[in-house]
Amino acid sequence: MAKTSINETVKWKDITPGGNVCASGNSEEFKTGDWRSNKPIFIEDKCKQCLLCAPVCPDSSVPVKDGKRLEFDYDHCKGCGICAKVCPFDAIEMVEEK
């Protein structure tokens, strides 16, 4: 007797559409940082607070408060490394996520 998978019993009309934004500003509710394979490390001693890293982060994971950058928001950082590439002071090092 052949097994019936769930894919064979669910009709396409019954599937919830993906990629829909159901409410404004709800991205903070979803912790997506566990997707990353590389992790940025902030080296505060090397940082000159130029803030070039903050606007290039596609996940807004470089918080800035009172004109100073803070530690990464690892709940949302996906480890793309753009911040490390743009930093002229080598204040961000990319390491393998463990």
Q: SS3 string of 16-74?
A: CCCCCCCCCCCHHHCCCHHHCCEEEEECCCCCCCCCCHHHHCCCCCCCEECCEECCCCC
pLDDT band at 13 (very low <50, low <70, confident <90, very high): confident
Question: pLDDT at position 30, please?
Answer: 77
Q: What is the CATH number that goes with domain 31-96?
A: 3.30.70.20
Q: How far apart are CA 71 and CA 10, in angstroms?
A: 45
Rounded to an integer, the average pLDDT of 10-15 is 73
The position carrying tokens 């982060």 is: 57
pLDDT band at 34 (very low <50, low <70, confident <90, very high): confident
Which tokens hold the place of 5?
Answer: 């998978």
pLDDT tens-place string over residues 51-91: 999 999 999 999 999 999 999 999 999 999 999 999 999 99
Could you tell me the CA-to-CA distances from 30 to 61, 77, 86 in Å, in that order? Answer: 13, 12, 27
